[in-house]
Amino acid sequence: MHIAVTTRFLLPGGHLEGLGRYTFEALRCLVQQQPQCTFHFLFDRAYDPRYLLGPNVVPHVLLPPARHPLLMLAWYEGAVAHWLRRHRPAALLSPEGFTVLGTSVPRVVVVHDLAYLHRPQDIGWAMARYYAYFLPRFARAATQLVAVSDATRQDIAQQYGLAAQNILVAHNAPARHFAPQPAAMQAATRQRFSHGQPYFLFVGALQPRKNLRNLLRAFALFKAEGARRPARCACCWWAARPGRQDQYLRYSAACRPPCRPPSLLPAA
């Protein structure tokens, strides 16, 4: 059986973000568990050989590199659709939530969230238009829809009017090396990063769509209301786009008590 997979989030380099990590881990398991299947990985640029996860993986580079809505349209509905017409695989797996409308090949689409509906202010105009038009159509075109959590499954059902019982859930999961450390190592880590105090750690892209403002507002409220134990929060900042009201959001009061009251933080 030949299975095509859109793998444009398997980017070259040493680190993968959320969609790339999910894609990598899911495919690593699938390739090992299904040695009788041939997986055709469809990249949109030169790929790192470490993503060839087994002898049953065949890589293909389809241009153009898709990082702008117009290029995404050209890649999915042009290059990938053309490849599917030529090769006719048994299925197309899209672990990143985007897929091809112009094909009769059965599609499996993984949806991670519907953040564009809930926080449209965090998305650029062109990408927001792309999401609003295509994402509901991708979901309805899928032979099988997969969500990464039950919350996402329920959100899809409510927002798109699809039956929740027809949506599978394939959760994110921590890697095996994420486990509680010995007490001595915990103490050493706190000394290194937070002057020996307990701390809250945010891991993710430093972008407004990750809801960092509300994270920091919540921490400020936690401090202002009198936490029982001292605590720290990592200092975070991001550069906003030119023309936005806040060019930079900087918040270091958590590392230098007392904490500013939440009313002094920028509104979410």
Q: Which fold has domain 2-169?
A: Rossmann fold (3.40.50)
CA distance 231 to 255: 9
Instruction: Tell me the whole-structure pTM to 2 decimals.
Output: 0.81
CA distance 148 to 125: 26
97-144 pLDDT per residue, tens: 999 999 999 999 999 999 999 989 888 899 999 999 999 999 999 999
Length of the chain: 268
Q: Are 43 and 60 in contact (CB under 8 A)?
A: yes
Instruction: Give residue limits of the domains in the chain.
Output: 2-169, 183-264
Rounded to whole angstroms, the maximal C-alpha distance in the chain is: 65
213-248 pLDDT per residue, tens: 787 788 878 777 765 556 565 544 444 444 333 433
Return the closest-CA partner of residue 209 out of 134, 112, 68, 88. 112
Q: Are 28 and 53 in contact (CB under 8 A)?
A: yes
| E strand or H helix that includes residue 19 | helix 18-33
